[in-house]
Amino acid sequence: MTDPNRPADFPGWSAFFGAGAGESGILLLLDFDGTLSEIVENPDAAELRPGNAQTLDKLSRKPRLTVGIVSGRSLQDVADRIALSNLIYAGNHGMEIKGPGIRYLHPEVAAAVPGLQEIRSRVSTALAGIPGVQVEDKTLTLTVHYRRAPARYHEEVESIVRSVAHPETSTDQYRITYAKAAIEVRPAVDWHKGRALEFIRSRLAARAYTIYIGDDRTDEDAFEAAQAAGGCGIFVGPADAPSCARYRLESPAAVSAVLADLSLR
Ligand SMILES: [Mg+2]
């Protein structure tokens, strides 16, 4: 039996098509950072790997294939970085979605935006004296990055954000989450990449075979949702990393190769 926490190496598209998958179309959803782009020290510098733009464009023009990007970045950010018009873009972990035939903004999230702006202005003021801190406004979420702040400030940054945002996060409308060298304030809604996948499926491709490719912890919800719908998840990363995805690819370079192969079919 296959260990459920250790995805099998991706066997290639022939195995899929051989099993009859994709006869009712394919919904192909992909994460951006670490999947379509290499991970880079400065997130502002992330871009599509060479060749991916042409491949994605080709894939998105195939008649029975729907292609979308599901990212933690804001919708505008990820759409600008990819800049292809036939794709669906889901930003802020799917809280905002836009593309041909689809447009979505989570209603409770929309209502939380003015409060987030208010928190952002207080947080920026409170952190002004600490070097190397970046307050990123993703409109629907607020991220404070401290990777470039001296290590002695890291705990202080987190505690300042927690206390400054406390009036809001003590209600059930907002919550704090932690990422790599970052702390986030976001609307407390039951929504994630898996829900975004289900929403896109229901609107555009209810019968399609769904494939989700990603490298991050936040992609696990989407792997689960794809597999619950009879499709599959493909985890990008080393063989010893646990994931609920059925298959695995080693690196963004391997993702590029597999996508290019699909585009030739
Ligand atoms: Mg990623």
In a shared domain, residues 60 and 177: no
Question: Ligand 1 center to residue 19 CA distance, Å?
Answer: 29
* Residue 1, in any domain of the structure: no
Which position among 3, 31, 77, 216 bears the catalytic label?
31
Co-location of 85 and 208 in the same domain: yes
Single out the residue of 36, 34, 70, 85 nearest to residue 201, CA to CA.
Answer: 70
**pLDDT beyond 90 at 246:** yes
149 and 195 housed in the same domain: no
**Residue where a domain terminates, one of 138, 154, 187:** 187
As given in the structure block, the two tokens for residue 103 are 């447009």
Residue ranges making up the domain that contains 246: 8-105+191-263
CA distances in angstroms from 248 to 53, 57, 223, listed in the order given: 22, 24, 11
Distance 104 CA to ligand 1 centre (A): 22
Over range 216-237, report the average pLDDT.
95
Residues 44 and 124 in one domain: no
Among 187, 207, 225, the domain-final residue is 187
What's the CA gap between 197 and 195, in Å, rounded?
Answer: 5
> How far, in Å, from the CA of 37 to the mean position of ligand 1?
9
Same domain, 157 and 204: no
Q: Which of these ranges, 21-25, 29-33, 67-71, 238-242, has the smallest mean pLDDT?
A: 21-25
Q: How many angstroms separate the alpha carbon of residue 216 from the centre of ligand 1?
A: 5
Looking at the predicted structure, is the pLDDT value of residue 217 above 90?
no
Looking at the structure, tell me whether residues 201 and 169 fall in a common domain: no
CATH code (residue 119): 3.30.70.1020
- Same domain assignment for residues 101 and 114: no
- 133's tokens: 């801190």
- Residue 163 located in a structural domain: yes
Q: How many other C-beta atoms lie within 10 A of the C-beta of residue 23?
A: 11
For residues 62 and 97, state if they share a domain.
yes
Residue 1, pLDDT score? 42
What mean pLDDT is predicted for residues 147-157?
94
Query: How far, rounded to the nearest angstrom, does the alpha carbon of residue 116 sit from its chain's CA centroid?
Result: 21
> At 70, which amino acid appears?
V
The whole-number pLDDT of residue 14 equals 87
- Residue 262 pLDDT grade (very low, low, confident, very high; cuts 50, 70, 90): very high
- For residues 124 and 151, the answer to whether their CB atoms sit within 8 Å is no
pTM of the model: 0.86
Average pLDDT over residues 159-170: 96
Tens-place pLDDT, residues 87-140: 999 999 999 999 999 999 999 999 999 999 999 999 999 999 999 999 998 889
Distance 109 CA to ligand 1 centre (A): 22
Instruction: Give how many domains the chain has, as a whole number.
Output: 2
- Report how far ligand 1's centroid is from the alpha carbon of 171 (Å): 30
Do 97 and 32 belong to one domain? Answer: yes
**CA of residue 164 to ligand 1 center, whole Å:** 29
Full 3-state SS string of the chain: CCCCCCCEECCCHHHHHHCCCCCCCEEEEECCECCCECCCCCHHHCCECCCHHHHHHHHHCCCCEEEEEECCCCHHHHHHHHCCCCCEEEEHHHCEEEECCEEEECHHHHHHHHHHHHHHHHHHHHHCCCCCCEEEECCCCEEEECCCCCHHHHHHHHHHHHHHCHHHHCCCCEEEEEECCEEEEEECCCCCHHHHHHHHHHHHCCCCEEEEEECCHHHHHHHHHHHHCCCEEEEECCCCCCCCCCEEECCHHHHHHHHHHHHCC
Q: What percent of the chain has pLDDT over 70?
A: 97
pLDDT tens digits along 197-208: 999 999 998 899
Q: Does residue 129 fall inside a structural domain?
A: yes
User: pLDDT tier at 3 (50, 70, 90 boundaries)?
Assistant: low
**31 catalytic per annotation:** yes
AA letter at 179: A
Round to whole Å and give the CA distance between 189 and 113. Answer: 13
Are 180 and 210 within one domain? no
